[in-house]
Amino acid sequence: MATAAAGALGLLWGWLWSERFWLPQNVSWADFEGPGDGYGYPRARHILSVFPVAAGIFSVRLLFERFIAKPCALHVGIQDSGPYPNAILEKVFLSITKYPDEKRLEGLSKQLDWDVRKIQCWFRHRRNQDKPPTLTKFCESMWRFTFYLCIFCYGIKFLWSSPWFWDIRQCWHSYPFQDFLIMFVHHLATIGLITFSYINNMVRVGTLVMCLHDASDFLLEAAKLANYAKYQRLCDTLFVIFSAVFVVTRLGIYPFWILNTTFFESWEIIGPYPSWWLFNGLLLILQVLHVIWSYLIVRIAFKALIRGKVSKDDRSDVESSSEEEDVATNTRSACGSSSSNGANRVNGHMGSSYWAEE
């Protein structure tokens, strides 16, 4: 029984790591065992280091948001606000209704000797407590801005100091050795590309793709920070710059440099093989998403230029009275931010932020 299970596991393992699928002709996994050109080749087991590294980065993020980002938010005047506590209203909110009708409002008004309008305001602010406050979003954006900027600068330094920076074709020539549904597809494609490109020793293409994606991310986070701090003009300016960088890198450099090399030049150098179709298919999926996001971004940036108004964050939406809504409709200018759903419609691979139209 144990022998049969071991044999089945061996067959499955061999199928998963089939050289016919992953590697070009005349290349085997054994070719990766020794150092090449003075450097060690990637190993599949290196991927396991992702988990402790992720835990370490998460710990750094917690410390950064608490001891650096939060004081900065308080310094620019962002406060962690909420409704003042009231035991009676809290009990009604939690156990009876979050949207009291007129009759209940009148009863609570008599019981507390409060104006009905004041009670409505309390319930509105209490409902909004379940949404991320501006302070939280500022801290999140400041962390992402810092992280993306550092990663991008490191990537540029790494690429610039590498001998293959000026000729991406060398990465192929030197082989042996890249709404919720949209974001779900995007994350699957990017995780697959990062993992497979490393295991398959296509790290040069993978590094260039990640560097291109990182080029605009920190600008988006900088625009969010300006929005939360209520620097509207700076927010609009940064968002327009972000839009330009996004379009140039993902509709210009990415297809005409990266995809041109991975499709046409690699076809001439080594020819197609099974995993070649997988990698290029994932890269094409990213390009389709780039087109969709670019359309959304350009539309919002155009509005910012024409009307001086960048659309706000879905998570920033708060319930307001009819008077407040009238004022907001006519006068408010809000610069967008992040949301956990469909966020990267404009932010590409990063995860959890997007600009939604008002």
| Residue-range domain boundaries for the chain | 87-128, 133-347
pLDDT at 305: 77
Q: What number does CATH give the domain 87-128?
A: 1.10.10.60
For residues 86 and 129, is the Cβ–Cβ distance under 8 A? no
230 Cβ partners below 8 Å, 6+ apart?
77
Q: Could you report the per-residue pLDDT of 63-113, keeping only the tens digit for each?
A: 999 999 999 999 998 876 656 677 888 888 888 888 888 888 888 888 888
Token pair 């992702």: residue: 50
Q: Could you report the per-residue pLDDT of 282-333, keeping only the tens digit for each?
A: 899 999 999 999 998 988 888 877 876 555 544 344 444 443 433 333 333 3
51 Cβ partners below 8 Å, 6+ apart?
none
What percent of the chain is modeled with pLDDT above 90? 24
Nearest to 309 by CA among 283, 328, 285, 289: 328
Q: What is the DSSP letter of 340?
A: S
Please calculate the CA angle 248-255-196 and round it to the nearest 5 degrees: 115
What the block records as the tokens of 300 is: 């919002």
Q: Which of 124-138, 208-222, 330-344 is least confident? A: 330-344
Residue 222: pLDDT band with limits 50, 70, 90: very high
Q: Could you report the per-residue pLDDT of 17-46, keeping only the tens digit for each?
A: 788 888 888 888 877 776 656 667 777 778
Q: Which residue has the higher pLDDT, 161 or 85?
A: 85
For residues 156 and 210, is the Cβ–Cβ distance under 8 A? no
pLDDT at 304: 75
Mean pLDDT across the chain, nearest whole number? 76
pLDDT at 68: 95
Q: Could you report the per-residue pLDDT of 241-292, keeping only the tens digit for each?
A: 999 999 999 999 999 999 999 889 888 888 888 888 988 998 999 999 999 9
Whole-prediction pTM value? 0.68
Q: How many CA atoms lie within 13 A of 236 on its CB side?
A: 14
For residue 120, which phi and psi values (nearest 5 degrees)?
Answer: -60, -40
Q: With a cut of 50, say whether residue 147 has pLDDT above it.
A: yes
Q: With a cut of 70, say whether residue 334 has pLDDT above it.
A: no
Give the separation between CA 298 and CA 78, rounded to whole angstroms.
29
What is the torsion angle, in degrees rounded to the nearest 10, for the CA atoms of residue 17, residue 19, residue 24 and residue 26?
Answer: 150
Q: With a cut of 90, say whether residue 173 has pLDDT above it.
A: no
Give the separation between CA 88 and CA 134, rounded to whole angstroms.
27
Long-range contacts of 41-48 (CB under 8 A, 24+ apart): 41/177, 41/201, 42/177, 42/198, 42/199, 42/201, 42/203, 44/199, 46/198, 47/195, 47/198, 47/199
Q: How would you classify residue 37: left for phi > 0, otherwise alpha for psi between -120 and 50, otherwise beta? A: left
DSSP 115-132: -HHHHHHHHHHHHHTTSP
pLDDT at 88: 84
For residue 118, which phi and psi values (nearest 5 degrees)?
Answer: -65, -40
pLDDT at 7: 73
For residues 277 and 260, is the Cβ–Cβ distance under 8 A? no
Element of type H or E holding 64: helix 50-64
What the block records as the tokens of 319 is: 């319930």
Q: With a cut of 60, say whether residue 345 has pLDDT above it.
A: no
For residues 321 and 279, is the Cβ–Cβ distance under 8 A? no
pLDDT at 283: 92
What is the torsion angle, in degrees rounded to the nearest 10, for the CA atoms of residue 165, residue 166, residue 168 and residue 174?
Answer: -80
pLDDT at 349: 35
Residue 213: pLDDT band with limits 50, 70, 90: confident
pLDDT at 142: 95
Nearest to 199 by CA among 25, 43, 19, 18: 43
Helix (H, G, I), strand (E, B) or coil at 181: helix
Q: What is the average per-residue pLDDT within 48-70?
A: 93
Q: With a cut of 80, say whether residue 48 has pLDDT above it.
A: yes
Token pair 């801005």: residue: 145
